[in-house]
A and B are shown apart, each in its own frame.
Chain A
């Protein structure tokens, strides 16, 4: 129930807003803040479950109980027919395709239990997967029986951090958007829809449901960039839309193919994980590729990245924050949730490992160089995102416990630091009405509090020890070294060395930016009228800054949550690799 609340509370707030006349702007803002805060409050509870001693029922138990419940709701003779068949099949991970003998099929068909049987098998398969032991708060309701589609949501260590991040940033952005005057009603209802869809993306475990939410994210984003954006907003909006749609339609094809090639046919991601090792290598290879392109466009990975700077530069600040903080993570999350577990054999294919590693390094280095060359403050931050996303790919390519954890942690940390940086850019843009880095200077003298927060954000992004960015980067590098220094991977070591240069390059562009924007004399008389940050801006930035510091000093807080879920993925793959 909690998870559904987290998904639908913002949506309900959006619906309420639709019935408020557009002239009551204050009421609209308050309702949206209430919606987003309630959603955040719910995610706090969800997150809390991962820290409590009794976290609640895990998914494997949930499904075991559900199987028993379903069976006992049947008539005695039906139970007697189904139980032995169910017991005879092996549902341990990795499971074989569940095929029935002709006699069994006849018996089930004769009792008109085909659909029940399908459900039972799906649940049995899901309960056998190791990841199911880490999943909490399962909700599982029938939605479209014709295609075995379920409303199926649950949360584990991998998704909980991103859910927390979306709710937090969503709430803070709504506070930050308090001064939006243009079409207020539209802005806030779209923004709430966006939060809802993001929650849905990270929580759904039915591929169809996931796809629906994934696509719904596009719609508000398109309008938010296109209506409230900068001068080239229309171009940026349609470019964003077209790029991501290409990725998602490929994902759609992969999803439907998975459905028809799995036996029993299912969209249940956990059941698919159970069946995945049984898919042929070639099939997995194509699935991996299609999903990879879909997610890579979102991350964005090097050749698909060109939409990002455009979208970021044109988007209004709060939208940039969500875009960098959460939307990019949808891609990374997709790799962990879908690519690796559903195409385990393909993801160990040397081709893909090389591809991930090389693209990761290109992202790191190329992104950093591009960032260095930017004249626009916002597009610098955008390119720095591309650079930071490279660490995730590198960590996935190395595929050790540490590197994978580092990659997931990097997603969260980048979500914080890039969100903070975009807010910082937004604050200065609102005062200066331009973003040309070279024309700034001396902001530090004028706005000391603001600059204090800025230092946290920029140094977190730089990877300064003591701030959160450092932890994830060092974990990725250590893990990658671990992975690449052993036998078959030693020839990839060179990639690690190139990637290491990313640290220096990041320092170069971050420090240079700090110097140009915040240090030195006040360049422009006009800047002397700048006021330091107001309450609205402070409330939206300070929580992020605090989190950056806390997680930099005490990363165990989040590592303990995500470690089990990430380690399970690595364990699964290692087991299948043997």
Chain B
């Protein structure tokens, strides 16, 4: 076929397929419309009323979530696209993205997390009233990037989605323009992000150069030198590691989390990490099933296991002496990235299920922790642990909810954090019988490191508990607010409820890839 002179007739099936593909792209399209509407209404709304754009952003996100749920429902009930085109359904847009259950699961996590973040943003006292239009625009653009990221099946698409996620979040991190800490955080975030994505795209260009394809299902490095392919994959991993904040790309986390406005911190810690992990899982799965790797899996398992162990240990030990709550939660977020890596490192279906489950649970508990940290900081103007002093008596509901979140973060039943950790450990132990002897020992060691890390983490999470309940100082109390109460209640009930009735979530996460 002569490629230079395509006639309209030749285009037609492509266009038809494109339009058909759009039917499975409603959530993203909706978000684009909402983003545009936000920008526009920001122009016409009086500046002082810009906080009210919350309603539009919230409505848009909830609608997008419902659309995702509808898509999932449609698909499970057998709705498919008419045949045609080079890529079979559920690949969309020439194999750039995919509309599979895995993507839906992650989209639900991302959008649900975003709803929480938007609620937080509405309640964050420190945002001024006249720039919220830009804020929500940037936030939702970033979310759009994440939705693409979790469904990307092409490395180039992934790269673009990652940049779409990152660039607005650089701005969000430095959203308090006159706060030097925020600016420092933003700058750090940009520099790290630029370096990481630079390394990553260099790795991608190698992959494209030697294999001629960037589709993750077609990456076949099997014929190449082990060292070469290892290095290339390491470069790609560097970009992802930056998003999910594992060793060695975790250095930006504490400063950025501390300097950013709290809703943005929660956004980065919860949704951004979920999106990163989603793509990592997809990539790892593709590499595993297409047997694209030159060496067998064990060396990769070992490398990932080392990363997991280092990440959780560094995160936990660095958190021990933090006084600033956000910084403490930042280090805890690193530690949790380490736990999550346990599920990735074993290269198994069960590991994927466990990681997905943990991502959903982590969304609930971490969002809750950040939410209450923000409420407390707003009430006391104190970002440190001392802000929590006496919360147990002045605001028993919030203190109780915070305790649930903290127990969940530690991993104590009956909370979702425990169930998640249980599954991650189970996925490592279940792979013991299939790996060679030398690796078995390292995996057992990984599990022991993980559980002992749990004990270490107890120490610093308990410092918040101690401040809330054991310190006898007066707390100014927390102004009642329906939105705060409802959101925190939902998050706490979810954390607790999913710790007791979690079978459905396992079944939902199982076999999605």
| A146 interface contact, C-beta 8 A | yes
Closest to A212 in B: B413
CA distance in complex: A211, B506 (Å): 20
Closest to B462 in A: A238
User: Are A216 and B414 neighbours in the complex by a CB distance under 8 Å?
Assistant: yes
| B7 interface contact, C-beta 8 A | no
Closest to B413 in A: A212
Closest to B428 in A: A256
User: Are B425 and A256 neighbours in the complex by a CB distance under 8 Å?
Assistant: yes
User: Are B470 and A253 neighbours in the complex by a CB distance under 8 Å?
Assistant: no
| A145 interface contact, C-beta 8 A | yes
Stretch in contact with the other chain, from B13-21, B89-97, B315-323, B451-459: B451-459
User: Are A252 and B425 neighbours in the complex by a CB distance under 8 Å?
Assistant: yes
A: number of interface residues (CB 8 Å): 33
Closest to A234 in B: B470
| B393 interface contact, C-beta 8 A | yes
User: Are B451 and A249 neighbours in the complex by a CB distance under 8 Å?
Assistant: yes
Known: A212-B414, A253-B447, A256-B426. Contact between A226 and B466, CB under 8 A? yes
User: Which of B396, B447, B452, B466 is within 8 Å of A246, CB to CB?
Assistant: B452
Residues 362 to 396 of chain B near chain A (Cβ within 8 Å):
392-393, 396
Tell me, rounded to whole Å, the shortest Cβ–Cβ distance linking B204 to chain A.
Answer: 37
User: Are B413 and A216 neighbours in the complex by a CB distance under 8 Å?
Assistant: yes
CA distance in complex: A242, B510 (Å): 34
CA distance in complex: A186, B502 (Å): 28
| B211 interface contact, C-beta 8 A | no
User: Are B503 and A144 neighbours in the complex by a CB distance under 8 Å?
Assistant: yes
Interface string of A86-120 (1 = CB under 8 A from B): 00000000000000000000000000000000000
User: Are B455 and A246 neighbours in the complex by a CB distance under 8 Å?
Assistant: yes
Interface string of A473-503 (1 = CB under 8 A from B): 0000000000000000000000000000000
Tell me, rounded to whole Å, the shortest Cβ–Cβ distance linking A444 to chain B.
Answer: 38
| B481 interface contact, C-beta 8 A | no
| A20 interface contact, C-beta 8 A | no
Residues 452 to 489 of chain B near chain A (Cβ within 8 Å):
452, 454-455, 458-459, 462, 465-466, 469-470
User: Are A215 and B469 neighbours in the complex by a CB distance under 8 Å?
Assistant: no
Tell me, rounded to whole Å, the shortest Cβ–Cβ distance linking A541 to chain B.
Answer: 30
Residues 411 to 444 of chain B near chain A (Cβ within 8 Å):
412-414, 418, 422, 425-426, 429-430, 432-433
User: Given the complex, which residues of A lie within 8 Å of B507, measured CB to CB?
Assistant: 146
User: Given the complex, which residues of B lie within 8 Å of A546, measured CB to CB?
Assistant: none
Interface string of A107-150 (1 = CB under 8 A from B): 00000000000000000000000000000000000011111000
CA distance in complex: A558, B36 (Å): 77
Most buried by B among A183, A237, A249, A257: A249
Residues 304 to 331 of chain A near chain B (Cβ within 8 Å):
none
CA distance in complex: A5, B447 (Å): 37
User: Which of A143, A212, A233, A242 is within 8 Å of B470, CB to CB?
Assistant: A233
Interface string of A332-356 (1 = CB under 8 A from B): 0000000000000000000000000
User: Given the complex, which residues of B lie within 8 Å of A216, measured CB to CB?
Assistant: 413-414
Known: A212-B413, A238-B462, A246-B455. Contact between A256 and B470, CB under 8 A? no
User: Are B433 and A260 neighbours in the complex by a CB distance under 8 Å?
Assistant: yes
| A218 interface contact, C-beta 8 A | yes
User: Which of B414, B429, B510 is within 8 Å of A146, CB to CB?
Assistant: B510
User: Which of B412, B430, B469, B503 is within 8 Å of A260, CB to CB?
Assistant: B430
Tell me, rounded to whole Å, the shortest Cβ–Cβ distance linking B496 to chain A.
Answer: 12
User: Which of B413, B430, B451 is within 8 Å of A253, CB to CB?
Assistant: B451
Closest to B506 in A: A146
| A227 interface contact, C-beta 8 A | yes
User: Which of B412, B429, B458, B506 is within 8 Å of A256, CB to CB?
Assistant: B429
User: Are A252 and B459 neighbours in the complex by a CB distance under 8 Å?
Assistant: no
User: Given the complex, which residues of A lie within 8 Å of B451, measured CB to CB?
Assistant: 249-250, 252-253
Residues 77 to 128 of chain B near chain A (Cβ within 8 Å):
none
User: Are B426 and A145 neighbours in the complex by a CB distance under 8 Å?
Assistant: no
User: Which of A212, A249, A253 is within 8 Å of B429, CB to CB?
Assistant: A253
Interface string of A230-266 (1 = CB under 8 A from B): 0001100110011001100110110011011000000
Tell me, rounded to whole Å, the shortest Cβ–Cβ distance linking A399 to chain B.
Answer: 30
User: Are B470 and A144 neighbours in the complex by a CB distance under 8 Å?
Assistant: no
| A152 interface contact, C-beta 8 A | no
B: number of interface residues (CB 8 Å): 33
User: Which of B392, B412, B429, B502 is within 8 Å of A219, CB to CB?
Assistant: B412
Tell me, rounded to whole Å, the shortest Cβ–Cβ distance linking A429 to chain B.
Answer: 21
User: Are B429 and A241 neighbours in the complex by a CB distance under 8 Å?
Assistant: no
Closest to B433 in A: A260
User: Given the complex, which residues of B lie within 8 Å of A219, measured CB to CB?
Assistant: 407, 412
Tell me, rounded to whole Å, the shortest Cβ–Cβ distance linking B393 to chain A.
Answer: 7
| B448 interface contact, C-beta 8 A | yes
Residues 183 to 209 of chain A near chain B (Cβ within 8 Å):
183, 186
User: Are A234 and B430 neighbours in the complex by a CB distance under 8 Å?
Assistant: no
User: Are A259 and B413 neighbours in the complex by a CB distance under 8 Å?
Assistant: no
User: Are A237 and B426 neighbours in the complex by a CB distance under 8 Å?
Assistant: no
| A223 interface contact, C-beta 8 A | yes
User: Given the complex, which residues of A lie within 8 Å of B392, measured CB to CB?
Assistant: 186, 227
User: Are A215 and B418 neighbours in the complex by a CB distance under 8 Å?
Assistant: yes
CA distance in complex: A234, B470 (Å): 7
Tell me, rounded to whole Å, the shortest Cβ–Cβ distance linking B439 to chain A.
Answer: 16
CA distance in complex: A169, B140 (Å): 57
User: Are B426 and A260 neighbours in the complex by a CB distance under 8 Å?
Assistant: yes
Known: A146-B507, A227-B469. Contact between A252 and B430, CB under 8 A? no
Tell me, rounded to whole Å, the shortest Cβ–Cβ distance linking A118 to chain B.
Answer: 15
User: Given the complex, which residues of A lie within 8 Å of B430, measured CB to CB?
Assistant: 260
User: Are B459 and A242 neighbours in the complex by a CB distance under 8 Å?
Assistant: yes
User: Given the complex, which residues of B lie within 8 Å of A238, measured CB to CB?
Assistant: 459, 462, 466
User: Given the complex, which residues of B lie within 8 Å of A246, measured CB to CB?
Assistant: 452, 455
Tell me, rounded to whole Å, the shortest Cβ–Cβ distance linking B467 to chain A.
Answer: 10
User: Given the complex, which residues of A lie within 8 Å of B447, measured CB to CB?
Assistant: 253
User: Given the complex, which residues of A lie within 8 Å of B412, measured CB to CB?
Assistant: 215, 218-219, 245
User: Which of A223, A226, A249 is within 8 Å of B455, CB to CB?
Assistant: A249
Closest to A246 in B: B455
CA distance in complex: A223, B407 (Å): 13
User: Are B459 and A215 neighbours in the complex by a CB distance under 8 Å?
Assistant: no
Tell me, rounded to whole Å, the shortest Cβ–Cβ distance linking B413 to chain A.
Answer: 4
CA distance in complex: A31, B466 (Å): 28
Closest to A145 in B: B503
User: Are A227 and B470 neighbours in the complex by a CB distance under 8 Å?
Assistant: yes
User: Given the complex, which residues of B lie within 8 Å of A143, measured CB to CB?
Assistant: 503
User: Are A211 and B413 neighbours in the complex by a CB distance under 8 Å?
Assistant: yes
CA distance in complex: A259, B466 (Å): 36
Interface string of B500-513 (1 = CB under 8 A from A): 00110011001000
Assuming A145-B503, A253-B425, what are 20 further A-B pairs, CB within 8 angstroms? A144-B503, A183-B393, A186-B392, A186-B396, A211-B413, A212-B418, A215-B413, A226-B466, A226-B469, A233-B470, A242-B455, A242-B458, A245-B454, A246-B455, A252-B451, A253-B447, A256-B425, A256-B426, A260-B430, A260-B432
Q: List 6 A-B contacts (CB under 8 A).
A: A146-B507, A219-B407, A249-B452, A249-B454, A250-B451, A252-B425
7 tightest A-B contacts by CB? A249-B451, A212-B413, A146-B506, A144-B503, A226-B470, A215-B413, A256-B426
Interface residues of A (CB under 8 A from B): 143-147, 183, 186, 211-212, 215-216, 218-219, 222-223, 226-227, 233-234, 237-238, 241-242, 245-246, 249-250, 252-253, 256-257, 259-260
